[in-house]
Amino acid sequence: MIKVLTVFGTRPEAIKLAPVVKHLERDPRFACVTCVTSQHREMLDQVLEVFDVVPKYDLGVMTPGQTLADVTARVVQKVSEVVASEHPAIVLVQGDTTTTFAAGLAAFYHRIPVGHVEAGLRTADKYQPFPEEINRRLTAVLADYHYAPTEVGRRNLLAEGIDDRRILVTGNTGIDALLMARDALRSGGTVRSGLADRTPDVDGRRVLLVTAHRRESFGAPFEAICDALRRIAERNPDLAIVYPVHLNPQVRRPVFERLGQCPSIHLIEPLEYLSFVRMMDRAYVILTDSGGIQEEAPALGKPVLVMRNTTERPEAVEAGSARLVGTSTETIVSAVQHLLDDAGAYQQMSGARNPFGDGRASERIARHMLDVLRTDGGRA
């Protein structure tokens, strides 16, 4: 058996690695050990429950008022202890979080190979997104195997001198998770039964689904986003704006201060994964600064307007399913209104090609690990 230590800490990482974990658990050729750092305590637990993932290690690294340096140091130390105890054949990480980079560094210190899921995404601006862009670049230096979701990611890695033999284009594992959840919901079931539907009642109205949480938007940009939502609500009284508000106080404070009294804006607690997938499937337009939603929305045929100035997922913009709108109040209002008013523009975006995968990325990653780790001496 080949022992794989999978390390993640946030909700997006959990969503994108859960299909990989479940695939490895079903394959008797692998011994799958799951370790969570719990960067997102409440939101992480929801995803673990949905996909029935039970971590062997829960490191609980977060403390009140911690800095990025604090989190990085604690993840390196605690993951290092897990690696020393487990002696895996590979440490598998995903994406661009502090957990991703720090777990990769811990594995490197023990001379354990690192597999990087969702490798090769770049904006070329080290401060946008912050600190994720640098986390990705540093993880690429540490990684031995690079699982790029698209050909664009592969080209980015090649441009940085990564050996092409170490890169595999897989599609995005987030699409694996999304299609599993969507199909279960549309058939009347759930990925795991017993989880309540917490989506708000929108009475058959068109829905604008909103998510916003980026550090680079804290302060004036968040205030501009809130002002845009209020103006959109005033112009479109028949539109339901649904905004699951991130738990970060620097997000919640301006959102509730500026939008708390708007009757057509539903400010709700973060949705567990199945409820959020249901809400995306129900939405007419999605307005977000999330990276993962830029991938998921096209898979559901939903136009996505991205409240950022750059994106490490240019494939969606090139395919026509996403558009960068920044954080200017005027630009956001104009972009949303255009899709609400112009059926042709809406159809063009909603019918655009999905460039992010076919739902089989986890299978490709497992097959590749089996091939390379058997060759390189994988052990359990």
Catalytic residues: 96, 118, 132, 213, 215, 246
Residue 71 contacts residue 64 (beta carbons within 8 Å):
no
CB 136 within 8 A of CB 116: no
Decide: 320 and 297 in contact? Cβ < 8 Å: no
Give the CA radius of gyration of the chain.
Answer: 20
Long-range residue pairs from 195-201, CB within 8 A, at least 24 positions apart, any chain: 195/49, 195/50, 195/272, 195/274, 195/275, 196/275, 197/274, 197/275, 197/278, 198/268, 198/269, 198/271, 198/272, 198/275, 199/242, 199/271, 199/275, 199/278, 199/279, 199/282, 200/240, 200/242, 200/266, 200/268
Spacing of C-alpha 380 from chain mean position: 30
Tell me which long-range contacts 325-329 makes (C-beta under 8 A, separation of at least 24): 325/287, 327/217, 327/221, 327/222, 327/224, 327/225, 328/224, 329/224, 329/225, 329/227, 329/228, 329/231
Pairwise CA distance, residues 100 & 94, whole Å: 6
Q: Give the C-alpha separation, 146 to 93, whole Å.
A: 10
Q: Is the bond preceding residue 131 a cis peptide, omega within 30 degrees?
A: yes
Cα(99)–Cα(105) distance, integer angstroms: 10
- Nearest of 204, 188, 280 to residue 239 by alpha carbon: 204
b/e for 245-271, b at 16 or more Cβ within 10 A? Answer: bbeeeebeebbeebbeebebbbbeebb
